[in-house]
A and B are shown apart, each in its own frame.
Chain A
Amino acid sequence: MTLHIDISEENLAGILAKAFRNRSFLAGFVITALVAAVALISFFWTPFDVTRLIIADKTQGPSLTHWFGTDHFGRDILSMIMVGARNSIAVALVAVGIGMGVGVPLGAFAAARGGIVDEAVMRLNDLVFAFPALLSAIMITAIFGPGALNAIIAIGIFNIPVFARVARAGALAIWPREFILAARAAGKGRTLITLEHVLPNIVTLLLVQGTIQFALGILAEAGLSYVGLGTQPPMPSWGRMLFDAQTRMVAAPWMALFPGMAIAVTVLGLNLLGDGIADILDPRSRRQR
């Protein structure tokens, strides 16, 4: 993706005012908040208990009792989607956390030191990039066996070079600025300058990338669970629900329809949110509005 490293020169109030006039941001914010709310509610209440199997109610189509129908064990799909949301969000969020926590310091460090350190970090990046998330997941499951935790690690590892790259590119655009020279003339060291001047100026960039990676994480978790390498049953997960639906496409298409839509809507919301943030904070896109 192309990076805009123009620094926004506005304070928080101005940005917020803009945010709520941006359609992309508003839609994304509402959808994301809704998904998060559903996940939270599922801790206290779901229409049905997802741990109880009622075979008598199996593969029923959508009705007033079961809005999204039931699966082959008679579990309520809406309730499973609600519980699955917290699983998806948790995995993707922690994976973004790992990616940011390791990647950003690495990228910022590489940009601050330059030379051989920079080269080494970038080559390490290349190495991780050579293993697409699913491949690293396969490797990790091959060692440790499948499970949600391993999915988190696999997706998290893949996030590291992404954030390292964005942080480095952002920091490299900040370092030649005159205000950095001014800080150096004031006797400040690289670490202090990175903390005081570089990171605050690339935070928006990281935020945008964060929403993108969050969305990708949701997709990746669903993919891994779908092929049986992620979250394990009986814990409901969107990917696993789709796997169960696959062989029943003819008899119970709703089993595939609703979990898929849950994934799509969540990812759409996050992407809209990211687009909105980028729009609001990129002075160039603002100019044409």
Chain B
Amino acid sequence: MNLLEIENLSLTIGGTPILKRVELSVAPGEVMGLVGESGSGKSMTALTVMQLLPWAARATGRIAFDGIDILAASEDQMCALRGDDIGMVFQEPMTALNPVKTIGEQVAEGIRWHIRASRADAEERARKMLDRVGLPAAQFPLSRYPHELSGGQRQRVVIAIACALKPKLLIADEPTTALDVVLQAQILDLLRDLVAENRMGLLLISHDLAVVTEMADRITILRHGEVMEAGDTARTLSGQFHPYTRQLAQASMHVPARAKTQEVGQGKPLLQVDSLTRDYPGRRTSLLKRAAPIRAVDDVSFSVDPGQSVALVGRSGCGKSTLARMVLALDGPSSGTIRFRGEVITGKSEAELRPARRDMQVVFQDPYGSFDPRQKVEKLVAEPLHVLEKKPTNTERREMVAKALHEVGLSPRDMDKYPHEFSGGQRQRLSIARAIITRPRLVVADEPVSALDVSIRAQILDLFAELNQKLGIAYLFITHDLTVARAITDQVMVMHDGRIVERGGTSEVLDHPQSEAAKALVAAAPDLHRAIARRLQEQG
């Protein structure tokens, strides 16, 4: 018998339909992957099972958990289930824990509440659970506060809370999306082990097809609140019978068509970085002693040739974003120099930087945060024109904006709109339009596709590839996602603890990593091809 059985579930919030006739089941000891792009209703499905929906939500259909009719259950009955028989893990480990309570209190709280254990007993069980999720007592006593832990460690605490009472069902909503690939692999391993140990059912929600393929026995693919396809993971993904499944799978593995243009050693490099170091003041441990500085970037040297596309990959906190900011002259180095088009740009005033700024632009990660919501597209896209020597007239400006919009696949009519009128993918096109309006020779892109759904991501990668070909723009692509690096770059640099530990042709480095850091990254990176192959092999 199935542990969780969802039949014909429909959900509306304030009259807006969110889910339509969703069918889904999870058996004990089984991992069910729920996949979909943003807005597909996958989180809402989870919250419906937990009955933690907003007040205006109305659900119809049937949800049976272990013989209990969830939709008919009272709030008291649900409280008894939540945290005891059903645990849940959320996406954002940084905010999922109460900042003013110790991790011991937070893990023990559910135990005390459900089985009326004494404080001492509950703390003992909390201790065992924390040990189990990889937070040993020596380093992580119960008296630790969340802010003293890293993101990965906090996610382990959240898992400990959810699994403290050995629930029959665990719902994990994008549990690793906020973590880097190495941490992601560790957390996924932990979840897999917990499932095996307790014959727990796991409903794993993710936008990442590769992650789900590695983890799930069966998958359900959701789109606009409707189930598109459901079934055995390997068969569903290797067969790709449903058009939407095929579309998703292909977008996940998309590699833009790029002709190899890069000829090495053609004259001077465009960007040359020499033994660049950046220190931040460290945390003071005593009043009298000066704190040791934290070295974010440590003696980094590299160069980028004109028209070359280079990836900078590494785990979160390795210093890649700091490096990017220094290249963009938004942050000054502690020592070392950066040459752009042969000229030193470090230690220059804003006025002296103007010519360099013209040839160097940036695309950020967050398509929502990178535009001033108070300004119209025309003004936003035209912003870099500020560095031009000769200020364009209004008509010239509109022409330039129109041209840039056209180049990124938007209509010149979009000029008079506000950014909120665009979707995430369109905003990223706007972001690129802004970056190319001055015809720069280098674009630094900081995780430019990681906030986008896979199908949109594929389109934006195509756009990057096309502009590289057409305009000969060099890219410094900062990413944690090796698939993206593989898709769009010629060279890859692996950064670890502030240093560049490996550099080479993209496919060489990713196929045959030499350094420990690169090996760890490659081993942890989810890969849809590999995952499907392994699944098929397992099943024979």
Pairing of A with B: yes
Which A residues have a C-beta under 8 Å from some C-beta of B?
7-11, 177-179, 181-189, 196-197, 200-201, 288
Contact check, B364 vs A181: say whether CB atoms are below 8 A apart. Answer: yes
Q: B420 near A178 (CB under 8 angstroms)?
A: no
The answer, among B387, B419, B420, for a CB contact under 8 Å with A187, is: B387
Which residues in B have their C-beta under 8 angstroms from that of A185? 328, 330, 357, 360-362, 384
Complex contacts, A181 vs chain B, CB 8 Å: 330, 362, 364, 370
Q: Could you list 22 examples of A-B contacts with CB < 8 Å?
A: A7-B374, A9-B420, A10-B420, A177-B370, A178-B364, A179-B369, A181-B330, A183-B372, A185-B357, A185-B362, A186-B383, A186-B384, A187-B384, A189-B350, A196-B372, A197-B372, A200-B372, A200-B374, A200-B375, A201-B372, A201-B373, A288-B54
Given known A9-B419, A186-B386, contact A179–B370 (CB-CB < 8 A) = yes
User: In the complex, are the beta carbons of A178 and B373 less than 8 A apart?
Assistant: no
In B371-422, the 8 Å CB interface with A consists of 371-375, 380, 383-384, 386-387, 418-420
Given the complex of chains A and B, what is the CA–CA distance between A201 and B364 in angstroms?
20
Question: In the assembly, what is the distance between CA of A181 and CA of B434, in Å?
Answer: 13
Known A178-B370, A201-B374: A187·B362 in contact at CB below 8 Å: no
Also in contact, A184 and B330, with CB within 8 A (given A178-B369, A178-B370, A179-B369): yes
Distance to closest chain A CB from B92 (angstroms): 16
Asked if A186 and B357 make an inter-chain contact with CB atoms under 8 angstroms apart, the answer reads: yes
Contact of B66 with A by CB under 8 A:
no
Sample of 14 further A-B pairs with CB below 8 A, known A188-B383, A196-B372, A201-B373:
A7-B374, A8-B373, A9-B373, A10-B420, A177-B370, A178-B366, A179-B370, A179-B372, A182-B371, A187-B353, A187-B384, A187-B386, A200-B372, A201-B372
Binding site for A on B (CB under 8 A): 54, 328, 330, 350, 353-354, 357, 360-362, 364-366, 369-375, 380, 383-384, 386-387, 418-420, 434
CB closest chain-B residue, reference A177: B369
**Complex: how many Å from CA A183 to CA B372?**
10
Q: Are A179's CB and B371's CB within 8 A?
A: yes
Contacts of A188 in B (CB 8 A): 383, 386
The answer on a CB contact under 8 Å between A182 and B353 is no
Q: Are B374 and A182 closer than 8 Å at their CB atoms? A: no
Nearest CB in chain A: distance from B372 CB, A? 5
Tell me which residues across on chain A come within 8 A of B365, comparing CB atoms.
178
List the 7 closest A-B pairs by CB distance, nearest first. Answer: A9-B420, A178-B370, A187-B387, A178-B364, A186-B384, A9-B373, A200-B374
Min CB–CB distance B365 → chain A (angstroms):
8
What's the Cα separation between A196 and B420 when bound, in Å?
18
Q: How far is the CA of A200 from the CA of B379 in the complex (A)?
A: 14
Quote the shortest CB–CB distance from B442 to chain A (angstroms): 12
Look across to chain A and name the residue whose beta carbon is closest to the beta carbon of B330: A184
Task: Compute how far the CA of A209 lies from the CA of B370 in the bound complex, rounded to whole angstroms.
Answer: 27
Chain B residues with CB under 8 Å of A7's CB are 373-374
Give A197 to B387 CA distance when docked, in angstroms. 17
When chains A and B are docked, how far (Å) is the Cα of A181 from the Cα of B364? 9
A241 to chain B, nearest CB (A): 44
Closest chain-A Cβ to B90's Cβ sits at a distance in Å of: 19
In the complex, what residue of chain B is closest to A176 when comparing beta carbons?
B369
Closest Cβ of chain B to A201, distance in Å, is 6
Question: A182 and B373 in contact (CB under 8 A), knowing A9-B419, A187-B386?
Answer: no
Cβ of A10 to closest chain B Cβ, rounded Å: 7
A7 smallest CB distance to B (angstroms): 5
User: Bound state CA distance, A8 and B420, in angstroms?
Assistant: 10
> Which of chain B's residues have a CB closer than 8 A to the CB of A178?
364-366, 369-370
What's the minimum C-beta distance from B284 to chain A, rounded to whole angstroms?
17
Report the separation of the CA atoms of residues A181 and B362 in the bound assembly, to the nearest whole angstrom.
9
Instruction: Tell me the smallest distance from the CB of B344 to a CB of chain A, in Å.
Output: 17
User: Which chain A residues lie closer than 8 Å to B328 at the CB level?
Assistant: 185
The complex places the Cα of A201 from the Cα of B374 at a distance, in Å, of 7
Q: Separation in Å of the B377 CB from the closest CB of chain A?
A: 13
Which B residue sits closest to A179, measured CB to CB? Answer: B372
Return chain B residues, CB-CB under 8 Å to A8: 373
Q: How far is the CB of B56 from chain A (nearest CB, A)?
A: 9
B55 nearest in chain A by CB position? A288
Complex Cα distance A197/B380, Å? Answer: 11
Q: Contacts of B373 on A, CB cut-off 8 Å?
A: 7-9, 201
The answer for the CA separation of A201 and B420 in the assembled complex, in Å, is: 15
A185 CB, nearest partner CB in chain B, Å = 5
Chain A: CB-nearest residue to B418 = A11
Q: How far is the CA of A186 from the CA of B383 in the complex (A)?
A: 6
| Complex interface: chain B residues within 8 A of A11 (CB) | 418
Q: How far is the CB of B448 from chain A (nearest CB, A)?
A: 11
Whether A187 touches B434, Cβ cut-off 8 Å, given contacts A178-B370, A181-B362, A201-B374, is no
Q: How far is the CB of A85 from chain B (nearest CB, A)?
A: 35
CB proximity of A281 to chain B, nearest CB, Å: 12
Q: Which residues of B contact A186 (CB under 8 A)?
A: 357, 383-384, 386-387
**In-complex Cβ contact of B434 among A182, A184, A201 (8 A):** A182
Query: Knowing A7-B373, A197-B372, A201-B374 touch, does A182 contact B364 (C-beta < 8 A)?
Result: yes
Smallest CB separation, B441 vs chain A (Å) = 14
* Measured CA separation A186–B387 after assembly (Å): 6
Q: Which residue of A lies closest to B437 (CB)?
A: A186
A185 to B330, CA, bound (A): 7
In the bound assembly, the distance between CA atoms of A288 and B14 in angstroms comes to 10
Beta-carbon contact of B383 and A182 below 8 Å: yes
Are A187 and B370 CB-contacts (below 8 A) given A178-B364, A182-B362? no
Q: What are the residues of chain A within 8 A of B418 when measuring CB–CB?
A: 9, 11
Minimum C-beta distance from B383 to chain A (A): 5
Bound together, the chains give a CA A184 to CA B353 distance in angstroms of 11
Taking each of B360, B374, B387, which has the highest tally of chain A beta carbons within 10 Å of its own beta carbon?
B374
Closest approach, in angstroms, between the C-beta of A58 and any C-beta of chain B?
A: 58
Measured CB to CB, the nearest residue on chain A to B328 is A185
A187 touches B361 (CB 8 A): no
Contacts of A10 on B, CB cut-off 8 Å?
A: 420
**Which chain B residue shows the least CB distance to A10?**
B420
Which residue on chain B has the smallest CB distance to residue A198?
B372
How near does chain A come to B109, taking the closest CB pair, in angstroms? 26
Query: Which of B330, B353, B365 has the largest count of A CB atoms less than 10 A from its CB?
Result: B330
Chain A nearest Cβ from B321, distance in angstroms? 11
Alpha-carbon separation in the docked complex, A200 to B419 (Å): 15
User: Which residues of A lie under 8 Å from residue B354 when comparing CB positions?
Assistant: 187
Q: Are the CB atoms of B372 and A187 closer together than 8 Å?
A: no
Complex Cα distance A197/B330, Å?
17
| Cα(A283)–Cα(B366), bound, Å | 19
A200–B370 Cα gap in the complex (Å)? 16
CB distance from A192 to the nearest CB of B (A): 8
Nearest to A200 among chain B residues (CB) is B374
Minimum C-beta distance from B381 to chain A (A): 11
Question: Taking each of A184, A189, A197, which has the highest tally of chain B beta carbons within 10 Å of its own beta carbon?
Answer: A184
Min CB–CB distance B29 → chain A (angstroms)? 39
Q: Determine the chain A residues whose CB is within 8 A of the CB of B371 once the complex forms.
A: 179, 182
